[in-house]
Amino acid sequence: MLERTLRKDRTAVTFVLPADNPHGPVSVVGDFNHWQPGVHTLTPREDGKRAVTVELPSENTHSFRYLAAGDYWFNDDSAEDGEGPNSRLHT
């Protein structure tokens, strides 16, 4: 699930997943972090889910995927569309 908060010239995008599905650590990896695993690792929230927030330039399109333990890559079903194997979001 994606949550957005509009700022003056940026959009804070929070990437949210259930606490235990998939099991183990998960990071969001995309063009905004040069596809580097571990840069934006999801952490537990008080509501029982896990999340990470990334500040992105407004009025742009970004490609991303999630990377879980065991080299398990997956997309976000709540993203607007896909670009090949990647999820995409518009800020």
Quote the CA–CA distance of 31 and 33 in Å, as a whole number.
Answer: 5
Residue 83: the pLDDT is 62
pLDDT tens digits for range 27-71: 999 999 999 999 999 999 999 999 999 999 988 999 999 999 999
| Assigned domain for 89 exists | no
CATH number at residue 67: 2.60.40.10
User: Which residue range is the domain that position 51 belongs to?
Assistant: 2-80
Q: Does residue 91 lie in a domain region?
A: no
Residue 8's pLDDT is 87
Q: What is the mean predicted confidence (pLDDT) over 64-88? A: 88
Q: How confident is the model at residue 78 (pLDDT cuts 50, 70, 90)?
A: confident
Predicted pLDDT of residue 84: 76
* Rounded Cα distance, 33 and 41, in Å: 12
- Domain membership of residue 86 (yes or no) is no
pLDDT at 85 exceeding the cut of 90:
no
Identify whether 45 is part of a domain: yes
Question: Does 87 reside within a domain?
Answer: no
CB contact set of 64 (below 8 Å; sequence gap of 6+): 15, 28, 29, 30, 31, 32, 76, 79, 86, 87, 88, 89
Give the chain's domain count. 1
